[in-house]
């Protein structure tokens, strides 16, 4: 009889605690490139900088049709400009740099 009661107690506790464990689990947050700080951008590898800069430069831009800023231009023009701006203002969000990049010689 004791074994039946212990098994029943374990089953009941498991069924009560299982949903509660989901409530206490940390929620994964998805970080968007425009929410990244300049310090985070400056600390990453150059190959990742180009990919992040490509998203930043081409996001919310007024392009005609399927136009976009090519990856080569982002790598050679936008990334160095973003690095310079980020060294001057490390707490700035990358999304705020878009305004300053418009006059960077990119073919928008």
Q: Is the pLDDT of residue 93 over 80?
A: yes
Radius of gyration of the chain (CA): 24
Query: Could you give the dihedral angle defined by the CA atoms of residues 58, 99, 104 and 94, in that order, rounded to the nearest 10 degrees?
Result: -70
Burial class (CB in 10 A: 0-12, 13-18, 19+), 12: exposed
Q: Is the pLDDT of residue 55 over 70?
A: yes
Between 11 and 54, the more confident residue is 54
Q: Is the pLDDT of residue 37 over 50?
A: yes
SS3 35: helix
pLDDT for the residue 69: 74
Q: Which sign does the torsion angle of CA 38, 97, 93, 35 carry?
A: negative
pTM of the model: 0.60
């Amino acid at each position: 009889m004791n074994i039946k009661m212990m098994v029943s107690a374990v089953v009941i506790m498991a069924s009560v605690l299982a949903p509660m464990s989901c409530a206490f689990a940390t929620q994964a947050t998805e970080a968007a490139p425009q929410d990244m700080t300049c310090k985070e951008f400056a600390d990453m590898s150059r190959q990742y900088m180009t990919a992040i800069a490509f998203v930043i430069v081409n996001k919310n831009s007024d392009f005609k049709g399927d136009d976009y800023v090519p990856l080569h231009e982002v790598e050679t023009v936008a990334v160095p400009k973003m690095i310079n701006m980020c060294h001057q203002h490390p707490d700035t969000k990358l999304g705020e740099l878009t305004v300053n990049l418009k006059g960077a010689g990119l073919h928008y």
